[in-house]
Amino acid sequence: MEQTTIVSFYLFLLYISTCPQVLHSAITSDHHHRHRHQRHDRRSVKLFVFGDSYADTGNSGKSATGSWKPPYGITFPGKPAGRFSDGRVLTDYIASFLGIRSLVPYELRNTEEKSTLRNGMNFAYGGTGVFETLVSAPNMTTQIDFLQQLVEEKLYTKSDLDSSVALVSLGGNDYAAYFLKGNQSQDFSAVSTSIVNQLVVNIKRINDLGVRKLLVTAIEPMGCLPAATSIFSSYQNCSESMNAGSRFHNQILHQKVEDLKKQTTTRSTFVILDLYNAFLSAIQQQKHLQQAGNSTRSENPLMPCCVGVSSEYSCGSVDEKSGANKYTVCSNPERSFFWDMEHLSQNGWHAVYSAIKSSLRPLR
Which residues form the catalytic set?
53, 340, 343
Beta bridge partners of 214: 166, 270
What is the Cα 237 distance to its own chain's centre?
A: 23
Contact 338, 344 (CB under 8 A): yes
Asked whether the bond before 70 is cis by omega within 30 degrees of 0, the reply is: no
Q: Rounded to the nearest 5 degrees, what angle is found at the Cα of 72, between the Cα atoms of 71 and 75?
A: 90
Are 13 and 227 spatial neighbours (Cβ–Cβ below 8 Å)? Answer: yes
Residue 273 phi, psi (nearest 5): -85, 115
8 A C-beta contact, residue 1 and residue 8: no
Burial 51-83 (b: 16+ CB within 10 A, else e): bbbbbbbbbbeeebbbbbbbbbbbbbeeebbbb
Those residues whose C-beta lies under 8 Å from the C-beta of residue 129, and which sit 6 or more positions away, are 52, 139, 140, 170, 171, 172, 173, 174, 177, 195
Q: Considering Cα of 137, then 148, then 261, then 162, what sign does the dihedral take?
A: negative
Nearest to 264 by CA among 311, 203, 220, 315: 203
Are the C-beta atoms of 174 and 223 separated by less than 8 Å? no
Task: Please give the Cα distance from 335 to 286 (Å, whole number).
Answer: 9
* Sequence-distant contacts of 291-296: CB under 8 A, at least 24 apart: 296/331, 296/332
Enumerate residues 6+ apart whose C-beta is below 8 A from 200: 253, 256, 257, 259, 260
